[in-house]
Structure 1
Amino acid sequence: MPIKAILTDIEGTTSAVSFVFDVLFPYAAKHLPEFVRAHADEPQVAEQLAAVRAEAGEADADVERVIEILLGWIAADRKSTSLKALQGMVWAEGYRAGQLKGHVYPDAVEALKRWKQRGYDLYVYSSGSIQAQQLIFGCSEAGDLTPLFSDYFDTTSGPKRDAQSYRSITQAIGCPAEEIVFLSDIVEELDAARAAGMQTVGLAREGGELAGHETVASFAQIDLERL
């Protein structure tokens, strides 16, 4: 059955892992305390701070303690939805100020544009919040790439190594799973997508194989018609 939709991961797939770990995370760690103190009473921020307290099991934590928790989660690369949402808000300020530009590999930019022109529907699934995803592509070094994508999915759809998450995304996309190809650099994510019925292609930009999946070193090597 021919591929109709492409679902792509970001970190390590369309974008360098180093951009996330060496640029975005340090930026969030530096600016998050000031951001939380300045905006703690705003409903959107207060909602996420309440979620942090609940997740940490510290219902009475004051703002400074919540900041301490968040910085610990950043250091541990914790996949917390509330942390991701707050990081996204901090990054939004950085992108708006021109202090951040999203990294997207040139081969990914070229392929995504070509696939869009050919009528494929493009989607993103990343552990980063939907807002953070839109910022990386919307304020990228290659310009605003958001018009290429039909929708975005994050951890609110479920963990990336859980097949049920991909079943939920398939339902949201609205076409059979076998007509969707998922692109990622993580074997466990590819395994989960395949368990949900999707086609898979692994990205190993430094070379090597992602066991059990067709593996390429760049988007230029992906042949959708051959899947």
Structure 2
Amino acid sequence: MSVPAAPAHDVDAVVLDIEGTTSATGFVVDVLYPYSRARFAELLTERAGEPVVARAMAQVRELTGEPDADAARIEKTLNAWLDEDRKATPLKSLQGVVWSEGFARGDLVSHFYDDVVPRLRAWHAAGLRLYVYSSGSVSAQRAWFANSPAGDLTPLLSGLYDTENAGPKQDARSYRRIAGSTGVPAGRLLFLSDRPGELDAARAAGWHAVGVRRPGEPYFEQGVGDHAQAGTFDEITVNNSRSTS
């Protein structure tokens, strides 16, 4: 069965996945993951009293069933989760701390596919609201969009969602929470992702969904199931008939 091309969508808002959708997964895996891995030990030993770090460490102990795990044991767990590419909330929270500081120091500059930023600017100018929903923490998302090669993109965004403030990305309830938080009706939301399970969950919540398939990305060969698909953002037509702009 052939996969349909992306039709035109009349919506009020577009919700963006990051890895594989706006940006290359390879950049995250090859640049950001090693950057965080090299800094976990210092973070866990020297800054364990900071609220974000302390909460993440407690979450690791709870998830592993090891209430007495010390910093070294937690670091080992985090690195194992990195190897598995596990979307664990405490891992993403600690990565967010490290990456945010790396972006602020100028060690890191984020990656976006060439078609993404012009399209985001055009959609924003047309009156569409833009949101991000990624497994990466909100702090990491904010740093990612603030430190792009095209400059600070955060003024384009109306909100950021992750697995902590919205829930798991393959659970329809997470998309209902986002709809409730944004105040945008489900039928007026469009989700863009490369992962079929996420697209399924968004559709189950009443959203529009388009699968983004980019050559070289992990989910390219798997495809997007029976969802409409696009190879670039330029192939996605979004209208906002209710916009006054």
TM-score (structure 2 length as normaliser): 0.88
Query: Shift in Å at residue 43 of structure 1?
Result: 2.7
Aligned to 1:167: 176
C-alpha separation between the residues in 2 aligned to 1:111 and 1:105?
Answer: 11
Aligned to 2:142: 134
Q: Contact 1:123 / 1:152 at 8 angstroms: preserved in 2? A: yes
C-alpha separation between the residues in 2 aligned to 1:63 and 1:148?
Answer: 38
* AA in 2 matched with 1:215: Q
Identity of aligned residues (%): 48
Query: Shift in Å at residue 94 of structure 1?
Result: 1.1
Residues 1:184 and 2:193 aligned together = yes
Aligned to 1:204: 213
Q: CA RMSD in A?
A: 1.5
Query: Shift in Å at residue 164 of structure 1?
Result: 1.0
Q: Which has the higher helix share?
A: 1
Aligned to 2:91: 83
1:158-192 deviation per Cα after TM superposition (whole angstroms, max 9, x unaligned):
11111111111111111211111000001111111
* AA in 2 matched with 1:14: T
Query: Shift in Å at residue 225 of structure 1?
Result: 3.2
C-alpha separation between the residues in 2 aligned to 1:143 and 1:36?
Answer: 31
Would you say how many aligned residue pairs link Structure 1 and Structure 2?
Answer: 226
Query: Shift in Å at residue 44 of structure 1?
Result: 2.6
Aligned to 1:214: 228
2:203 to 194, 197, 200: 194
C-alpha separation between the residues in 1 aligned to 2:89 and 2:99?
Answer: 15
Aligned to 1:47: 55
Q: Contact 1:104 / 1:137 at 8 angstroms: preserved in 2? A: no
Aligned to 2:69: 61
Tell me, what secondary structure is at the counterpart of 1:116? Answer: helix
1:95 to 89, 100, 103: 103
Aligned to 2:6: none
Tell me, what secondary structure is at the counterpart of 1:155? Answer: coil
Query: Shift in Å at residue 42 of structure 1?
Result: 2.2
